[in-house]
Amino acid sequence: QQPVQSPQAVILREGEDAVINCSSSKALYSVHWYRQKHGEAPVFLMILLKGGEQKGHEKISASFNEKKQQSSLYLTASQLSYSGTYFCGTELTGANNLFFGTGTRLTVIP
């Protein structure tokens, strides 16, 4: 039930944009996005509910296509602080737990 993320890793220069994709084989109720720094717990970024939500905060936004069971996270004008591993967490309809994706390691360099 683990969702698949792509790409597995990406290196950006400061100011560049990135897109991280999350794909599930199951019908989803919601998608959660988290960022994890090395040795730390995941930090919540945002939740998208079924219904085709799009959401954003500052320069990070996301969309959820429930028909395709896919979500994408958009990072614009990346900053050094964006470096970390990004995980999507998928919640199935009728469940109250999350299955985390395979992760995308993002490195932003000066």
Partner 1 sequence: GAVVSQHPSWVICKSGTSVKIECRSLDFQATTMFWYRQFPKQSLMLMATSNEGSKATYEQGVEKDKFLINHASLTLSTLTVTSAHPEDSSFYICSASIRATWNEQFFGPGTRLTVL
Residues that bind partner 1 (CB under 8 A): 2, 30, 32, 34, 40-44, 47, 49, 87, 89, 91, 96-103
* Residue 55 token pair: 């959401």
CB of 15 to partner 1, least distance (A): 27
Name which of 81 and 97 has its Cβ closer to partner 1. 97
CB of 85 to partner 1, least distance (A): 8
Name which of 66 and 91 has its Cβ closer to partner 1. 91
Name which of 19 and 49 has its Cβ closer to partner 1. 49
Task: Please give the Cα distance from 9 to 17 (Å, whole number).
Answer: 14
Task: Please give the Cα distance from 28 to 50 (Å, whole number).
Answer: 7
CB of 30 to partner 1, least distance (A): 6
The dihedral built from the CA positions of residue 84, 85, 86 and 90, taken in this order, carries a sign that is: negative
Instruction: Provide the pairing of β-strand 104-109 with 9-13.
Output: parallel
Task: Please give the Cα distance from 78 to 60 (Å, whole number).
Answer: 9
Name which of 82 and 87 has its Cβ closer to partner 1. 87
